[in-house]
Amino acid sequence: MTNVVSQTNVVSRGGGRASVPGDMGVSGGTRVPTAIGVPASARASVGLSIPAGSHIPGNANIPGDSRVSDDSNVPMDSRAPAGSHIPVVSRGGGRASVPASARVSAVAHVPIAARVSAAGAGVRRIAAGGRAYNIAARVLKATVSAAIGLLVAAPILYGLSMSLMRDADIMAFPPKIFPIHATLENYFNVVRTVPIFRFIGNSIVVSVSVCLLQLLTCSMAAYAFVFLKFRGRRTLFVAALATILIPGDATIISNFLTVTRLGMADTFTALIVPFATSATGIFLIRQFYMSVPKELKEAALIDGCGDFHFFVKILLPISAPVLGALAVFAIISTWNQYMWPLLITNTPENRTVQIGISMLQFSDGIVYGLVNAGCMLVLIPSITFFVICRKKMVDSLITGSVKG
């Protein structure tokens, strides 16, 4: 995320322009600053030490169309070991060869190895000599990628395959990989055994509510931290971030007892309200707000716009990308919750999906086909959602960096 880059490290000391990792998702995400013309310096001046949990990786920037491929292993006659020049910080150097891509990069302040004078020639030599090698390397790389990708996806695909098998085929030896006698019977059985659609509906309601509440509370708090001056601002901000240090597991018992005593056990309220805000979310949105020029607010105030009006009518609409990132993250993590809903719900009416499907596992011994069918009904929506919103999810992760 753009503005985050500037506060991660020294990358953008001075006028360094925050850069955006392209494909990996951040692009669409929070690049708004360019759209509303924030001066680079505004973003670079973010200086905050966040607790460990929220460290943001590296100075993302796009390799663009670098002419030398990273994997080309072309032997060169130069004897000098590469490492010897690194890191030589040549601040201000090397802007020359930034790929002319649309995204700006923080080149100026990143260490760049001292350049050899024969740079151009060397690059050309590599390009000519390494072509065949490059193709071979690329094919090899694609093959390995495919193999690993398949391996990672294998448990899910295997589960899908089992959900379509008859139990006799699942228990067969040698194990069958594909459902030869494909049947949807397991799915019908799931529907007959547990109110799976009820669980799915519950989870949708809970996830969406958590998401909306988080958007509201986090953006409001972030607004106060960025746009308003008041006593105790710094202290309160630290207090908010301190909640990241308290792991949910450490407070879960106490929360359980409180919620039970309040008579809120086994209600949607108990599933939703404890997650109605998040320090990560506040931090995420705050980072975005800091990239919004203060002049925007001043202008609005001159036009007779109050804080509330400015927040709702002007700020929220331009925050759509960062809010989207937070939303995706909130929805997926709520959908995947296990321990809290397990403790707090005890009737099928209020169960959420993860508990619902694990109930199948404990019902009558283990019926693999049935359990896997239930699991797929729950997994497929979340995976689909993830694939569609992957960029947003990655975006919020890179900036927020804390799960849950």
In the window 364-393, what residues touch another protein (CB under 8 A)? 366, 368, 371-372, 374-375, 378-379, 382-383, 385-387, 390, 393
Among 44, 110, 330, 367, binds another protein (CB under 8 A): 110
Buried b (16+ CB within 10 A) or exposed e, 137-150: beeeeeeeeeeeee
12: nearest Cα among 89, 97, 107: 107
Is 189 an interacting residue with respect to another protein (CB under 8 A)?
A: no
Is 133 an interacting residue with respect to another protein (CB under 8 A)?
A: no
Minimum distance of another protein from residue 256's CB (angstroms):
8
Choose the binding region for another protein from 29-37, 103-111, 189-197, 316-324 (rule: CB under 8 A): 103-111
Among 2, 4, 7, 11, binds another protein (CB under 8 A): 11
How many chain residues bind another protein (CB under 8 A)?
159
At 64, list the tokens. Answer: 């663009």
Q: CB nearer to another protein: give 37 or 304.
A: 304
Minimum distance of another protein from residue 11's CB (angstroms):
6
Is 136 an interacting residue with respect to another protein (CB under 8 A)?
A: no
Binding mask 52-91 for another protein (x = CB under 8 A): xx-x-xxxxxxxx-xxxxxxxxxxxxxxxxxxxxxx-x--
Choose the binding region for another protein from 33-41, 181-189, 244-252, 286-294 (rule: CB under 8 A): 244-252
Q: CB nearer to another protein: give 216 or 314.
A: 216
Minimum distance of another protein from residue 311's CB (angstroms):
8
Note if the bond before 175 is cis, omega within 30 degrees. no
Minimum distance of another protein from residue 208's CB (angstroms):
17
Whether 16 contacts 305, CB under 8 Å: no
Buried b (16+ CB within 10 A) or exposed e, 43-52: bbebeeebee
Query: Residue 278, class by beta-carbon neighbours within 10 Å (0-12 exposed, 13-18 middle, 19+ buried)?
Result: buried
Q: CB nearer to another protein: give 323 or 355.
A: 355
Minimum distance of another protein from residue 69's CB (angstroms):
7
Q: CB nearer to another protein: give 37 or 110.
A: 110
3-state secondary structure of 155: helix
Binding mask 15-54 for another protein (x = CB under 8 A): ----x-xxxx-x------------------------xxx-
At 205, list the tokens. Answer: 């309601």
Among 126, 210, 215, 323, binds another protein (CB under 8 A): 126
Q: CB nearer to another protein: give 37 or 125.
A: 125
Q: In angstroms, how far is the first alpha carbon of the chain from the final one?
A: 19
At 269, list the tokens. Answer: 């309220």
List, in order, residues 6 or more apart from 373 with CB less than 8 Å away: 163, 186, 187, 189, 190
Minimum distance of another protein from residue 305's CB (angstroms):
12
Buried b (16+ CB within 10 A) or exposed e, 383-392: eebeeebebb
Binding mask 249-288 for another protein (x = CB under 8 A): xxxxxxxxxx-xx-----------xx-xx-x--x------
List, in order, residues 6 or more apart from 90 with CB less than 8 Å away: 111, 112, 114
CA-to-CA distance for 395 and 85, rounded, in angstroms?
33
Buried b (16+ CB within 10 A) or exposed e, 222-259: bbbbbbeeeeeeeeebeebbeebeeeeeeeeeeebeeb
Site residues (CB under 8 A) for another protein, limited to 335-364: 335-339, 343, 354-355, 357-358, 361
3-state secondary structure of 72: coil
Whether 373 contacts 189, CB under 8 Å: yes
Q: CB nearer to another protein: give 12 or 37.
A: 12
Binding mask 283-322 for another protein (x = CB under 8 A): -----------------------xxx--x-----------
Site residues (CB under 8 A) for another protein, limited to 143-182: 144-146, 148-150, 152-153, 155-156, 158-159, 162, 170-175, 177
At 29, list the tokens. Answer: 């995400």
At 207, list the tokens. Answer: 């996830």
Look up residue 264 and give its DSSP letter: -
H/E stretch holding 152 reads helix 131-163
